[in-house]
Amino acid sequence: MDRIVVSSRQESSLLSTHKVLRNTYFLLSLTLGFSALTATVSTALNLPAPGLLLMLVGFYGLMFLTHKLANSPAGILAAFALTGFMGYTLGPILSSLIAAGASDIIMLALGGTALVFFCCSAYVLTTRKDMSFLSGMMMAGFVVLIVGVIANLFLQLPALHLALSGLFILFSAGAILWETSNIIHGGETNYIRATVSLYVSIYNLFVSLLSILGIMRNN
């Protein structure tokens, strides 16, 4: 009888994990599509950049709201608001690249982002390896990135900007590995939070690749 109960619990846990993973990827695809739409509109209308203060307030405010409402249907609307806003912030970047005749950089960055996300996700999903050991390194990397970003606001060094972009790529790839592992091992049971976490990693990957490719083109 005990074996039957344990087996039933394991099966129930597995089904719950698959449901979270399925809902996460479905919502992620929808939010990425919505973000692409707002980025396209922002680019087409040549909307101005929001500025650092507005971007930080908008991002962290909507991120807090999404996590606050993650256990209710309103959390889905908050997730779309966050990803739509982030899509808008991409518009001025894409506009400047298109105006400079560097449309190919956008396609390369898109392809690179998709490749990194697919490889990281596929690795964890096929091996089912527990990536929780990355949590300490992720925290240390986050602190380094914050310090580097603040320093670059004052120094404005192209070499430092390039190094930070490379670190953001590594950090984002690690975040995708960690979050995917967290889902399949039952550490993350809310697909809205998981979606937002993966979206932010994809956003950072794309922007960092745009920065590196843009610097290489200028050189």
pLDDT tens-digit map of 155-167: 777 888 888 889 9
Mean confidence (pLDDT) of the chain: 87
CA dihedral for 58, 151, 165, 93, sign (positive or negative): positive
Average pLDDT over residues 166-185: 92
Residue 14 vs residue 165, higher pLDDT: 165
Inform me whether the pLDDT recorded for 218 exceeds 70.
no
**Stretch among 10-19, 66-75, 177-186 having the lowest mean pLDDT:** 10-19
Provide the pLDDT confidence category of residue 6 given band limits of 50, 70 and 90. Answer: very low
Residue 186 vs residue 86, higher pLDDT: 86
Average pLDDT over residues 95-122: 91
Average pLDDT over residues 14-40: 89
pLDDT at 170: 93
